[in-house]
A and B are shown apart, each in its own frame.
Chain A
Amino acid sequence: MQRTRFFRQNTLDALEASIDQNLPWYRGENDNAPSPISDEYGEMSDSTSTDFSCFDALNSNCADSDDLKNVIVIYNAFKFLSPQQASDGRIWSYATHCLAENYVRQRWNNIPKDDDKATKYIRSHYFVSGTRGLIRDNAVARLWWMGHIASRCRDYDLERTLTILLRDSDVRASLLERSSLSMSNEIFSGVVRLLGKSLNDCSAKDKKEDKDPNIYKRENFRELMKMLNRRGGRIMLNALDAQQLDDILNDMADKIIEDNSN
C-alpha cells in the first residue's frame, strides 16, 4: 500500500509547459525517448494509502460502454478521497503520467499527427483543465468522478447504476458529464430510477436487456432532458420527495414515448 501521490505545482507547471518537447514520449514511438517525469512528487497522509497495482487492472481495449469495470477499479481504489481532494488535478496528472501511463497511452491513442493538435489532445487527457477536465477529459480522473457521481444514487449499487448510465453515450454525457443535473443527488437518483425501471420492464418483457427501452432512444432521452430542464426552471425539483419526483418523471417519459410513437 502506498500513499496517494501528486505532482508538486511547479513540477506540474513545467511538465505542462513542455508537452510539445516531450511528444515522442507521449506518443510512445521511441523506447529511448527521455521521460519527462521527474521524481518530485508529494504524498498525502497515511489515510490515503491504496494499492497502485489497481492501475494494472485497467482495460485499455475498450469502448466507452466498457468503462464500467475501469470505473469500479479506480473508484474503489481511491474511495477515501473527498470531493475536495479529488478536484485536485495534481493527483490525476500524476496518475496519468506515472501510474497508468500504459493504460492512458493505449486507451487514448488517437494523438493527432499535427503537433499543435497533439499538444492540445495530450493536455486534455493527461492533465486537468477546469471542471470538465475532471469528469470528462482526464483519462483517470473521469473514471473516479463517474464512480463518485454514480455512487450517489440511493437506489442501486454502484455496478447497477453504472450499467444503467454507461449503456448509452447520450445518457452518459447528459447525466455524468453535464454537471448541472448530476450534481443534484435527488434529481440524478430520480432519473436513474426511471432508466433502471425501464430496463427492468424491458428485460422482463423480452427476457434480455439487450434491447433498448424506449426512453433510451436518442430523441426520447434528449426530450426528457429538455422537459426536465424546463420544469426545473420553474419549481424546485430537488425539494420534492422521491415519490413526487418519480410521478413527474414518469409522466414526462410516458408523454414523450406516446408522442414519438405516433
Chain B
Amino acid sequence: MTNDETKKAVLDIIADIAPDEDLSNLKSDLRLRDQVQLDSMDFLDIVMELRKRHGIEVPEAEYGKLASLDSCAEYLTPKFNALEAKR
C-alpha cells in the first residue's frame, strides 16, 4: 500500500461519514479539523471505520496521528502493509 492509497482509504471514510463536506481541495499537510467540520464523534467514527473496513486498530493515545492526511499516511501505511504481509 502506498501513502496515496492510504490517503484515499481515509478520504473514502470521511466522505461516508460527512457526505455534506467538500473534500475536493483538501491540503494533505494541514489539519483535517481546520479544513472540514469534524467533531469528536466524527473522529471516533474514522477510528471505528478503520477497524471495521481494514482491521486496523488505533489506540486512543494515538488518535493525534490522524490529524492530517499526511500524518494519517505516515502512521497508517505501515499498519496496512503489516496486515497485508500477514495475509
Do A and B actually bind? no
- A-side interface residues toward B, CB under 8 Å? none
- B-side interface residues toward A, CB under 8 Å? none
